[in-house]
Amino acid sequence: MLKESQVKRILNSVDFLFDEQLKFTQELVKYPSLRGQEHTAQDFLFNAMSERGFSMDRWKIDVEDIQHHEGFGPVTVSYENAFNVVGTYRPSQSKGRSLILNGHIDVVPTGPAEMWSRSPWDPEIIDGWMYGRGAADMKAGLVANLAAYDAVRASGLLPQAPIYFQSVVEEECTGNGALSALLRGYQADAVIIPEPEENMLVRANVGVLWFKVRVTGKPSHTREMDQGFNAIDAAYASIHALRKLEEQWNSQKNDHPYFEDLEHPINFNVGKINGGDWPSTVPPWCEFDIRAAIYPGISTDQAKKEIKETLKSAVREDPRMGGVPPTITYTGFNAEGYVLKEGSDAEMTLRECHQTAFKSELQTFTTPGYLDARVFTIYGDMPTLVYGPKSHDIHGFDERVDIESVRLVTKTIALFIANWCGVEEAHLSKENDNR
Residue 195 vs 402, nearer CB to Zn ion: 195
By CB under 5 A, residue 170 contacts Zn ion: no
Residues 244-263 that bind Zn ion (CB under 5 A): none
Residue 218 vs 392, nearer CB to Zn ion: 392
Residues 401-420 that bind Zn ion (CB under 5 A): none
Q: How far is the CB of 275 from Zn ion (least distance, A)?
A: 30
Q: How far is the CB of 326 from Zn ion (least distance, A)?
A: 31
Residue 10 vs 138, nearer CB to Zn ion: 138
Q: How far is the CB of 103 from Zn ion (least distance, A)?
A: 8
Q: How far is the CB of 45 from Zn ion (least distance, A)?
A: 16
Q: How far is the CB of 121 from Zn ion (least distance, A)?
A: 18
Q: How far is the CB of 165 from Zn ion (least distance, A)?
A: 17
Q: How far is the CB of 337 from Zn ion (least distance, A)?
A: 15
HEC string of the chain equals CCCHHHHHHHHHHHHHHHHHHHHHHHHHHCCCCECCCCHHHHHHHHHHHHHCCCEEEEEECCHHHHCCCCCCCCCCCCCCCCEEEEEEECCCCCCCCCEEEEEECCECCCCCHHHCCCCCCCCCEECCEEECCCHHHHHHHHHHHHHHHHHHHHCCEEECCCEEEEEECCCCCCCHHHHHHHHCCCCCCCEEECCCCCCCEEEEECEEEEEEEEEECECCEHHHHHHCECHHHHHHHHHHHHHHHHHHHHHCHHHCCCCCCCCCCCCCEEEEEEECCCCCECCCEEEEEEEEEECCCCCHHHHHHHHHHHHHHHHHHCHHHCCCCCEEEEEEEEECCCECCCCCHHHHHHHHHHHHHHCCCCCEEEECCCCCHHHHHHHCCCCEEEECCCEECCCCCCCEEEHHHHHHHHHHHHHHHHHHHCEEEHHHCCHHHHC
* Residue 184-223 contact track with Zn ion, rule CB under 5 A, x = bound: -----------x----------------------------
Q: How far is the CB of 391 from Zn ion (least distance, A)?
A: 10
**Are 281 and 221 in contact, with CB atoms under 8 Å apart?**
yes
CA–CA gap between residue 186 and residue 100 (Å, rounded): 8
Q: How far is the CB of 356 from Zn ion (least distance, A)?
A: 26
Residue 195 vs 399, nearer CB to Zn ion: 195
Residue 133 vs 407, nearer CB to Zn ion: 133
Give which of 70, 374, 395 is closest to 207, Cα–Cα: 374
160 CB contacts (<8 Å, ≥6 apart)? 91, 93, 94, 95, 96, 421, 422, 423, 424
Residue 137 vs 287, nearer CB to Zn ion: 137
Q: How far is the CB of 142 from Zn ion (least distance, A)?
A: 10
Give which of 215, 179, 426, 178 is closest to 315, Cα–Cα: 215
Residues 126-145 that bind Zn ion (CB under 5 A): 137-138
Residue 102 vs 230, nearer CB to Zn ion: 102
Residue 155 vs 180, nearer CB to Zn ion: 180
Residue 135 vs 245, nearer CB to Zn ion: 135
Q: By Cβ distance, which residue is nearest to Zn ion?
A: 137
Residue 195 vs 287, nearer CB to Zn ion: 195
**Are 280 and 240 in contact, with CB atoms under 8 Å apart?**
no
Q: How far is the CB of 107 from Zn ion (least distance, A)?
A: 9
Give how many residues touch Zn ion by CB under 5 A: 3
* Residue 63-102 contact track with Zn ion, rule CB under 5 A, x = bound: ----------------------------------------
As a residue count, the chain comes to 435
Residue 137 vs 424, nearer CB to Zn ion: 137
Residues that bind Zn ion (CB under 5 A): 137-138, 195
